[in-house]
Structure 1
Amino acid sequence: MSRSTTLSEGEIFEILANGRRRETLRHLTETRDGAVTLRSLAIAIATAESGQSPPPPPVRESVWSSLHQTHLPKLDELGIVRYDSDSGTVTMCDSAPEIDTHMEVFVWNGLSWSELYLALGIGSLLAVLAVLLEAPFVGSADPILGVSISLAMFAVAAAAQLWPNRLDMLRMLRRS
């Protein structure tokens, strides 16, 4: 029994407050067709939690049980996944991109987008200050060049972050 209304920010944060729900969504997002079996999902999450492959049976059973009884029914009720408990399949729903924006992690080295932007901002500020203060190696550079390069890096980062969301948004608009 799933719904099609937009999730409130509180509901999204409640969903993401639980590690197993976050891992479920991450695993489904990384799966090409967005569909997995409960068994394979439980094994993947238990492996991540235990750090052992294959995961110990008690961990795998604990994950399977909590997914089956609590997390997947909740995600299904909210319209984020489609969980068929009879066949044991879990499929990502169209409303999942709504949650993706709150889960976004820049893949390289596990940085969040906000950490990347902070690093770009601080690096850009230091580079421009180095040019203005005529620091060795960069003192002869034009400050406009430093600012232009900094802005270009921000633009590339923003495009990399927003491009996948734009495609998801276009798909959602076409269905409306």
Structure 2
Amino acid sequence: MATTSDGKPTTGGPTTDESRSQQGEIFDLLSNQRRRYTLHYCKREDGPVTLGDLAEHVAAWELEKEVEEITSAERKRVYTSLQQTHLPTLERADVIEFDDRTIELTDEAAELDVYLDIVPGDSVPWGVYYLGLSAVGAIVMAGLWLEVVPTEPIPELGWATLVFVLFAVSAVVHVIQTRRMRLGELERPP
């Protein structure tokens, strides 16, 4: 059995500390809005992009303007920041390939999707929604078992079908909303 330097047995995969460290690095990488905008633009374009085009779009999104309305000073400020700071950071993380003027996502960039589940601030988290839906289903089922839920107008199978349809429709809406809110799916970043 293999052991670590302090004599403890090793496991087949990364340790919990290593996993936390890697997650911390990923969250640090994604904590910057310009880097998220860069990923969004590159995913949306689905191929190599130029630094100039990227800088224009990132500046437009940051300033909530159309690309055509961006001044050369606004574009240059973002261009310089991307070139000197953000693109090298993304390249060191092996998320992009950057050759001075052209940016392209690597295969490792797809692994970031799990960390980019964007939930709008005014919505209920899906976990809470499904918990509430489960509570409604449990109340209906308990009512059927205790014979307090009327079964003349709606038979037991109708109640069960109603609960199933609620879950099925919720799952479809959840999938559609999640896909729509991914980076690279919409014109503007979510």
Report the equivalent of 1:115. 125
Map 1:17-166 to 2 at 5 A: 17-33=31-47, 35-53=48-66, 54-85=69-100, 88-105=101-118, 115-123=125-133, 125-126=135-136, 129=139, 140=154, 142-153=158-169, 155-156=171-172
TM-score, length basis structure 2:
0.63
Pick closer, same or farther for the CA change 1:123–1:9 going to 2, 3 Å: same
Pick closer, same or farther for the CA change 1:103–1:113 going to 2, 3 Å: farther
Q: Structure 2: where are the runs of 5+ without partners? A: 1-18, 180-190
- Taking the aligned partners of 2:22 and 2:87, their CA distance within structure 1 comes to 19
Between Structure 1 and Structure 2, how many residues are aligned?
148
- Taking the aligned partners of 1:52 and 1:74, their CA distance within structure 2 comes to 26
RMSD of aligned Cα (Å): 3.5
Structure scoring higher RCO (CA < 8 A, sep ≥ 6) equals 2
Matched-pair identity in % = 26
Q: Deviations over 1:25-54 (max 9, x none)?
A: 111111132x21000000000000111222
One-letter code aligned to 1:19:
Q
TM-score, length basis structure 1:
0.67
- Taking the aligned partners of 1:60 and 1:20, their CA distance within structure 2 comes to 13
